[in-house]
Amino acid sequence: MASPYDPFKQEQQQPRKKGPNLLLLLPLIYAPVLPLIRISLKHKPVLRDRLFTAVLAGAFVHGTYLVTTLYDVESK
Protein backbone atom coordinates (compact mmCIF):
# COMPACT_ATOMS: atom_id res chain seq x y z
CA MET A 1 0.00 0.00 0.00
CA ALA A 2 1.36 3.42 -0.95
CA SER A 3 2.12 5.94 1.74
CA PRO A 4 0.24 9.26 1.59
CA TYR A 5 3.52 11.11 0.95
CA ASP A 6 5.70 9.84 -1.85
CA PRO A 7 8.77 12.06 -2.44
CA PHE A 8 9.34 10.53 -5.87
CA LYS A 9 5.87 11.33 -7.11
CA GLN A 10 5.75 14.52 -9.17
CA GLU A 11 3.70 17.37 -7.85
CA GLN A 12 0.31 17.69 -9.42
CA GLN A 13 -0.01 20.74 -11.59
CA GLN A 14 -2.71 23.26 -10.91
CA PRO A 15 -5.58 23.17 -13.37
CA ARG A 16 -5.27 25.78 -16.12
CA LYS A 17 -7.65 28.68 -16.21
CA LYS A 18 -9.85 28.88 -19.23
CA GLY A 19 -9.83 31.98 -21.38
CA PRO A 20 -7.08 34.23 -22.67
CA ASN A 21 -4.23 35.46 -20.53
CA LEU A 22 -4.98 39.19 -20.47
CA LEU A 23 -1.43 40.11 -19.52
CA LEU A 24 -0.23 38.78 -22.86
CA LEU A 25 -2.84 40.86 -24.71
CA LEU A 26 -1.77 44.14 -23.09
CA PRO A 27 0.67 45.08 -25.92
CA LEU A 28 -2.33 45.25 -28.24
CA ILE A 29 -3.46 48.22 -26.17
CA TYR A 30 -0.26 50.20 -25.57
CA ALA A 31 1.34 49.60 -28.99
CA PRO A 32 -1.20 51.76 -30.87
CA VAL A 33 -1.17 54.33 -28.05
CA LEU A 34 2.49 55.22 -28.66
CA PRO A 35 2.00 56.68 -32.16
CA LEU A 36 -1.23 58.34 -31.06
CA ILE A 37 0.67 60.17 -28.33
CA ARG A 38 3.22 61.43 -30.84
CA ILE A 39 0.56 62.55 -33.31
CA SER A 40 -2.00 64.08 -30.97
CA LEU A 41 0.43 66.01 -28.75
CA LYS A 42 2.45 67.47 -31.60
CA HIS A 43 2.09 71.03 -30.29
CA LYS A 44 3.01 70.20 -26.68
CA PRO A 45 6.48 68.66 -26.96
CA VAL A 46 7.30 68.50 -23.25
CA LEU A 47 4.08 66.67 -22.34
CA ARG A 48 4.39 64.49 -25.45
CA ASP A 49 7.92 63.35 -24.61
CA ARG A 50 7.15 62.69 -20.94
CA LEU A 51 4.01 60.72 -21.69
CA PHE A 52 5.71 58.77 -24.47
CA THR A 53 8.61 57.92 -22.16
CA ALA A 54 6.26 56.85 -19.37
CA VAL A 55 4.24 54.54 -21.63
CA LEU A 56 7.41 53.10 -23.15
CA ALA A 57 8.91 52.51 -19.70
CA GLY A 58 5.69 50.79 -18.65
CA ALA A 59 5.94 48.56 -21.71
CA PHE A 60 9.48 47.54 -20.81
CA VAL A 61 8.48 46.87 -17.19
CA HIS A 62 5.57 44.77 -18.41
CA GLY A 63 7.83 42.77 -20.72
CA THR A 64 10.37 42.24 -17.96
CA TYR A 65 7.63 41.03 -15.63
CA LEU A 66 6.37 38.53 -18.20
CA VAL A 67 9.85 37.18 -18.89
CA THR A 68 10.77 36.81 -15.22
CA THR A 69 7.52 35.01 -14.39
CA LEU A 70 8.07 32.72 -17.38
CA TYR A 71 11.55 31.81 -16.15
CA ASP A 72 10.24 31.39 -12.61
CA VAL A 73 7.59 28.92 -13.80
CA GLU A 74 10.10 26.97 -15.90
CA SER A 75 12.62 26.72 -13.06
CA LYS A 76 10.14 25.02 -10.75
* pLDDT, position 10: 58
Give the model confidence (pLDDT) of 6-54 as tens digits.
Answer: 556 655 566 667 777 788 888 898 899 999 999 999 999 999 999 999 9
Looking at per-residue pLDDT, the higher value among 11 and 76 belongs to 76
Asked if 37 and 52 touch (Cβ cutoff 8 Å), the reply is yes
What is d(CA 41, CA 38) in angstroms, rounded to the nearest whole number? 6
Res 73 pLDDT > 80: no
* pLDDT, position 6: 57
Closest alpha carbon to 51 in 64, 62, 35: 35
* pLDDT, position 25: 86
Q: What is the pTM of this model?
A: 0.66
